[in-house]
Chains A and B, each alone.
Chain A
Amino acid sequence: MTGKREGPGRPMRCDIAGIGLLGPGLPSWEASRAVLAGGVPWEPAPVALPPPVALPPTERRRTSPSVRLALAAAGEAAAGSGLPAAELETVFASSNGDGAVVGSILEALTVPDGAISPTQFHNSVHNAAAGYWGIAMGSTRASVSLGGHDDSFATGLVQAVASVVARGVPVLFCAYDAPLAPPLDAKRPTDAPFAVALVLVPEGGVPLSVELAPDAEVTPAGEMEGLARGNPAARSLPLLRALAAGRAARIALPLADGGAVVLEVGA
């Protein structure tokens, strides 16, 4: 029998082979590196959500802003990794999912006959972004979609890295969240759309280690702290800033119900 263990377990190790980003004043990873590294001032600007060109026109029209957000970051990370996008397993993590679509269904349900749109219904599933990614890339690889509320980036990253470590396969991880519509937005405020994506591989990139810790102080995101607090996917900013600056860093992501995820990058 495995006995009781005192420690929280070993760190998991993998490499980061590709990065994608989309957020206010952060139009892509490539275009935002200088800003994230601190060399150029950050100027928040509305987020343009490109229609996913890889999708057939009918499907493209059906994509919501949150799906476009996720696919933009995921596409950039996959392209940057040099690996064929269709061959990557995927982990999508989002607190709200397609919350705007869910909101409009909830609105429709308030009228007596409750008639809702069939397209909206199938777009309301939390794995909508993953589904459209598979269609866009012609990918039949396994995919999982996770929630996580404020912890969605940290717990999603842990699951993605665990998959790389346990199964030895490259994994595309994408965390994204878009604001909800009224009146739900008052109960779950999300400031601006934000998506981050990482292609994680067993070997061949910037080293990343991930471990669970009993407790840790949050690593601040500097001038972008407000952005980081306003969207669960933007909790990735301290990591992105370290990656952009090319510096080694230890980054703590405390979890809502106690405990923390601790990342070490470039070590």
Chain B
Amino acid sequence: MSLMLPPLALAARSAVSAMGTGLAATREALHARRGGLAPCDLPGMPEGIWTGRVPGLEEVALPEALTRYACRNNRLAELALGTDGFAEAVAAAADHYGAHRVAVVLGTSTAGIAETEAAYARRGEDGALPTEFDFTHTHDLHALPRYVRARLGLSGPAVSISTACTSGARSFLEAQVMIAAGLCDAAVVGGVDTLCRMTLHGFRALELLSRGACRPCAADRDGISIGEAAGLVLLVRAGDAAPGSLALLGAGASADGHHMSSPHPEGLGAIAAMRAALDAAGDAPVDYVNMHGTGTRANDAMEGNAIRALFADRVPCSSTKGWSGHTLGASGALEAVIASICVEDGLVPGCLGVETPDPEFGVDLAVKNRAAPVERVLSNSFGFGGSNLALVMGRA
């Protein structure tokens, strides 16, 4: 029997996606049902698709001492650090606990690989990559937590997580483990992933891209819209925060052990992860399920089956990827922040752009925003390699 991990308070949050830069813009987009997806205008991407692009990212500057880290992914991290007083909140935590007691635990699927894509296009006649291309500080997965740690002046552990589309959510569980094991007192967690050619052409190769804005859970859904996002959270022990603070109440993980890119059709792995998260959160009822809901035929159907198996039609559920697109390794972190907004605002956001929800799911699928008491949200993330992760967000 495994030991339970104590809940952690959300001492600070930041979110940047196509929905907007910062919590206020994200919240406003949710309430106004204003999505951020648009026809893709980045060069070299598949034709006729929509993406959730963060405007102005190319102009974000990194501090001069850290320009070796310059790449689209770290620019997005920088934008998120400068939003919602996040960097200032981390500085206060470092002052309180000691900079060596604050960890940086971040998920990403592709880090700064767009730099390598560009470097491949600039190869010399001998085929060598250009001299100025810095693999270690851009493309390498560890570049993300290393940049954030250096930028925030922290000296605690740096951990890079890459479990495909569960990366950002998994960082919350790793931080719980690290704080419980005494490795740190606080952790900057979350995920950052940015648009790159590998991901977009990869999903095209799998024939999973939607031709318009994605419509997760719609009866006539036709695939994914890829987005980019940063979701960052500063986690501390619940006892170190005011009573009633927003909190991570529990996390649960599982593997499918079934197939590399197709989920188990009955959603056994998804069910196991959701059950584990609910157990970890003390088995209290949840009021809303924020689905992984990418918009593909198979994944949404699997998740519908899994949610029906656990809750029948008793708990409203929806996917917010119609707003942001599927932000891959950042999605679990972005959606954990969205879940916390739902708790604060008593909001069940209905799937965007869905006229007819898939009747096969047999669940209470919200397609319009509902005002309702939301004390706890179950937030799902599933990824290639059969990786499953569920978080329960609420108040400590």
Contact = CB atoms under 8 A, between A and B. Distances in A.
Interface of A: 1-6, 8-10, 12, 59, 62, 86, 95, 97, 102, 105-107, 109-110, 114-118, 121-128, 130-132, 134-135, 137-149, 151-152, 155, 158-159, 161-163, 165-169, 182-184, 186-188, 212, 214, 256-259
Interface residues of B, number: 83
Given A9-B182, A259-B155, 19 more contacts: A5-B185, A105-B202, A110-B121, A121-B206, A123-B260, A127-B384, A127-B387, A130-B385, A132-B260, A138-B257, A142-B255, A146-B159, A148-B159, A151-B142, A159-B177, A166-B177, A166-B181, A168-B1, A184-B129
30 contacts: A1-B240, A4-B96, A8-B100, A106-B198, A109-B117, A109-B120, A109-B198, A114-B201, A118-B207, A121-B202, A121-B205, A122-B385, A127-B387, A131-B385, A140-B272, A141-B254, A142-B253, A142-B276, A146-B160, A147-B141, A149-B141, A162-B178, A166-B5, A166-B176, A166-B181, A168-B3, A183-B128, A187-B133, A188-B136, A257-B150
Contacts of B260: 59, 62, 122-123, 128, 131-132, 135
Contacts of B261: 118, 122
B202 A116 contact: yes
Contacts of B84: none
Contact of B162 (A109, A125, A137, A186): A125
B98 interface: yes
B383 interface: yes
Contacts of A162: 177-178, 180-181, 183
Contacts of B100: 8, 212, 214, 259
A256 B143 CA distance: 12
B177 A137 contact: no
Nearest to A117: B205
A257 B149 contact: yes
Contacts of B163: 125-127, 130, 143-145
Interface in B172-195: 174, 176-178, 180-185
Contacts of B159: 146, 148, 155, 159
Interface in B323-349: none
Counting chain A CB atoms within 10 Å of each CB, the highest count among B100, B133, B185 belongs to: B100
Nearest to B111: A147
